[in-house]
């Protein structure tokens, strides 16, 4: 048995609390995402179509079954939707359709290689998962000023 000691700075506790709130919000969006059904000892997806917030489809998985302890290899070119697929399977990506069957007691954890940022402008990142047009520039600018106004001039800057 390995014992781990976790030391978390107060700033990181706030980030973790924010992460938990984000997960709760994503779960609330579940009605728009793939239908999740309890099953046995496996992860199964049928007719899964994963897309981007703008509606563009990135990944189509007609059928997938992964048993407990199996380690499938998922490959594909950069930006082909692998991370979005795992987010959908983990229940934290509402921009998908289809059915995902997972055991009721399963714990699905999704850890990306890099911090996830939606594609597009800073404004679209700040308003995610809602579209950037859902908020006026004044509303977004006020939110940015609350944390430091050095970003206001970069709201339309695209990141990759």
As a whole number of angstroms, the distance between CA 14 and CA 29 comes to 23
Convert the pLDDT of each residue in 82-109 to its tens digit. Answer: 888 888 888 878 889 998 888 777 766 6
User: What would the two tokens of residue 72 be?
Assistant: 């499938």
Residue 113 lies in a domain: no
Question: Containing H/E element for 46?
Answer: strand 42-51
Asked if pLDDT for residue 10 goes beyond 60, the answer is: no
The reply to whether 48 and 94 lie within a common domain is: yes
Residues 6+ apart with CB under 8 A from 94: 26, 29, 30, 32, 33, 129
Residue 86 lies in a domain: yes
As a whole number of angstroms, the distance between CA 26 and CA 108 comes to 14
The reply to whether 94 and 134 lie within a common domain is: no
Q: Number of folded domains in the chain?
A: 2
Q: Which of 74, 103, 132 is the last residue of a domain?
A: 103
Q: Residue holding tokens 């998985």?
A: 61
User: What would the two tokens of residue 144 be?
Assistant: 């940015």
Q: What pLDDT was estimated at residue 116?
A: 63
Convert the pLDDT of each residue in 113-130 to its tens digit. Answer: 666 666 678 888 888 778
Q: What is the pTM of this model?
A: 0.49
Q: What pLDDT was estimated at residue 139?
A: 92
Quick check: 51 and 80 in contact, CB under 8 A? Answer: no
Q: Of all residues in the chain, what percent carry a pLDDT higher than 90?
A: 9
The reply to whether 18 and 97 lie within a common domain is: yes
Asked if pLDDT for residue 61 goes beyond 70, the answer is: yes
Residue 89 lies in a domain: yes
Quick check: 131 and 141 in contact, CB under 8 A? Answer: no
Q: Please count the residues of the chain.
A: 160
The reply to whether 19 and 98 lie within a common domain is: yes
Residue 24 lies in a domain: yes
Range of the domain at 134: 120-159
């Amino acid at each position: 048995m390995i014992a781990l000691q976790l030391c978390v700075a107060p700033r990181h506790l706030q980030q973790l609390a924010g992460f938990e709130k984000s997960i709760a919000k994503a779960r609330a969006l579940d009605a728009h995402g793939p239908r999740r059904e309890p099953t046995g000892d496996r992860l199964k997806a049928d007719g899964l179509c994963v897309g981007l917030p703008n509606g563009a489809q990135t990944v189509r998985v007609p059928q997938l079954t992964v048993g407990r302890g199996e380690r499938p290899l998922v490959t594909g070119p950069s930006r082909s939707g692998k991370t979005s697929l795992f987010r959908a399977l983990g229940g934290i990506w509402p921009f998908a359709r289809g059915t995902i069957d997972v055991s009721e007691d399963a714990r699905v954890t999704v850890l990306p290689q890099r911090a996830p940022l939606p594609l597009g402008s800073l404004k679209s990142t700040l308003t995610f998962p809602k579209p950037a047009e859902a908020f006026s520039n004044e509303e977004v600018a006020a939110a940015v000023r609350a944390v430091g106004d050095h970003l206001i001039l970069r709201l339309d800057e695209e990141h990759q």
